[in-house]
Amino acid sequence: MERTLSIIKPDGVARGLTGEVIKRFESNNIKIIAMKMISMNLAQAEGFYAVHKKRPFFSSLTEFMSSGPCVTMVLEGENVIAKNRELMGATDYREAKEGTIRRDFATDIEKNIVHGSDSPESASFETGYFFNSFEIVG
């Protein structure tokens, strides 16, 4: 059993895609064991994306992620880290497979609807960044 962090990014929430993303998790047998809507300030977004500090898009990405509410979730299941990333599709929507969230809805490499942890180590850091143990129903 694995856990992973999913975020519906500010563009996804603003475009009314929250229900659509949740439906894709539920219809793929992914269990949601925690969920909340948050609005990050710039420092909180910078802390979350600290691994990307040296990337050229860091300031644009953190401004975007702090531009409005996000929906954060902890997902649980077998291979759920890879499974979630499969449902999300490639970072660049133009390279994402047909039927993935990013291919179906994204129109921008940065504003790409969803975030998903990419390894057990990042999943552990990222779930702990937003949720304490009392908020996870698992």
The residues that touch ligand GDP, with contacts defined as CB under 6 A, are 57, 60-61, 91, 109-110, 112, 115, 118
Least separation in angstroms between residue 16's CB and ligand GDP is 19
Report the C-alpha gap between 62 and 76 in whole angstroms: 26
User: Cβ closer to ligand GDP: 55 or 135?
Assistant: 55
> In the complex, what is the shortest distance from the CB of residue 91 to ligand GDP, in angstroms, rounded to a whole number?
3
Q: Which is nearer to ligand GDP, 42 or 137 (CB)?
A: 42
Beta carbon nearer to ligand GDP, 35 or 65: 65
Q: For residue 52, indicate whether it is catalytic.
A: no
Please state the closest distance from residue 57 (CB atom) to ligand GDP, in A.
3
CA distances, 113 to each of 37, 78, 96, 100, 129 (Å): 15, 23, 13, 11, 20
Residue 125: how many CB atoms within 10 A of its CB? 15
DSSP 132: -
Q: Among residues 91 and 138, whose Cβ is nearest to ligand GDP? A: 91
Shortest distance in whole angstroms from residue 133 CB to ligand GDP: 25
Candidate list 83, 102, 111, 115, residue with the active-site label = 115
7's torsion region: left (phi>0), alpha (psi -120 to 50) or beta?
beta
Nearest to 84 by CA among 135, 46, 39, 28: 28
Residues labelled catalytic: 115
